[in-house]
Structure 1
Amino acid sequence: MNFVNKQQQISTREWDEIEEDTFKSLTKEEMDALRKAKPRNFASINSWWIVLSQVVLTLAIAGACFVFSSQDDKSVYTYSALVGGLIGFLPSALFLMRIEAAKKSVKSSPGGFLAAVVSGEFIKILATIVLFIGFALKQPDLKWIPLLVTYLATLKCYLLGWFWK
């Protein structure tokens, strides 16, 4: 028992030494100088560009479905791709509107903003589920392959934010 406590004390001391060596607190002046020296590292991307890229990608995939599908299935494949894109970008737009409303709120606080993010994600998930179920029930002739391909492609647009930054 005593041996275990000594091992824990030794590992705790080693961990504390590693933490002290690894991290350095910066003053406000040092942080401002760092921001001036490397502004690109601190830049943020406008999230509406991601939603716009989702819309553009939806239209591109729907156009490809229109061009490459047979004459009989042209409209249903195109419509299915448009629905998949809509299911992808509409919840994202709703989430961003919730975040924008929280930013403009007079009572903005870190806790309030966190609540806005959580409620925005809840709205996004709920809207996605409702759209999938609604279109599946109201439009039984939808083609699921172009719908899901477009939906998944719009989800991958979030990765573009890393490349644009």
Structure 2
Amino acid sequence: MNRKQPLNKREWDEVEDDSFKTLSKEEMNALRKAKPRNFASMNAWWVVLSQVAITLLIATACYVFSSLADKSVYTYSALVGGLIGFLPSALFLMRIEAAKKSVKSSPGGFLTAVVSGEFIKILATIVLFIGFALKQPDLKWIPLLVTYLATLKCYLLAWFWK
């Protein structure tokens, strides 16, 4: 029988000497200068702006390609879907910006701002969906949902832009 003897230490608990290295401030600055693209941050408002742009693009396509009788309702539905996509994102970013400018900012305070911002974002999305569904029963759901989902995909584009 070929059984391994049990080890006192787990294999994954052992750290090899060359597995990581703590960099000094000078080494980190040299690395930032050598690879500035790896350390660049992106302004999150560009994502919201791209969501607005994709909303306008899809609404224009709905206007151009829909029949004459349905032009306004398809265009309006696409605009509503985009609004449901980018308005909560803008509210989230405003909450984060307010936390950054706070006098008593701390890591815990910033984490609270992120969590409360996400709560605001989810709540605003639900309220907008329910509100428009109840108040505008003639909305066309296909252009609304297509535009909403396209605005959500703008977050993925941010990774490619960086």
Please tell me the TM-score bracket, short chain as reference. over 0.9
Q: Which stretches of structure 1, 4 residues or more, deviate above 6 A after TM superposition?
A: none
Structure 1 position 82 matched with structure 2 position 79:
yes
Aligned to 1:9: 8
RMSD in angstroms over aligned alpha carbons? 1.6
Residue type of the alignment partner of 1:58:
T
Structure 2 distance, partners of 1:34, 1:23, is 15
Which residue of structure 2 lines up, in the alignment, with residue 48 of structure 1?
45
Counterpart of 1:30 (choices 19, 27, 30) is 27
Question: Residues of 2 paired with 1:7 and 1:107: CA distance?
Answer: 52
- The answer to whether 1:99 aligns with 2:96 is yes
> 2:87 corresponds to which letter in structure 1?
L
CA shift at 1:8, angstroms?
A: 4.8
| 2-structure distance, mates of 1:114, 1:7 | 42
Supply the distance in 1 between the matched residues of 2:40 and 2:23 (Cα, whole angstroms): 19
* Deviation (angstroms), 1:15: 3.5
Unaligned runs of 5+ in 2: none
Q: Which runs of 5+ in 1 are unaligned?
A: none
Q: Normalising by structure 2, what TM-score?
A: 0.93
- 2:139 maps to a residue whose letter is L
Q: Is structure 2 residue 107 aligned with structure 1 residue 110?
A: yes
Separation in structure 2 between the aligned mates of residue 25 and residue 9 of structure 1, nearest angstrom? 28
Q: What does residue 63 of structure 1 align with?
A: 60
TM-score, normalised with respect to structure 1: 0.92
Deviates more, 1:113-122 or 1:25-34: 25-34
The structure in which a higher percent of residues are helix is 1
Secondary structure of 2:134's counterpart equals helix
Q: How many residues align?
A: 160
Q: Distance in 2 between matches of 1:80 and 1:138?
A: 13
C-alpha distance in 1, partners of 2:73/2:19?
A: 58
Deviation, 1:11, is: 2.4
Name whichever of 89-98 and 33-42 sits farther off: 33-42
What letter matches 2:15 in structure 1? E
Same amino acid, percent of matched pairs: 81
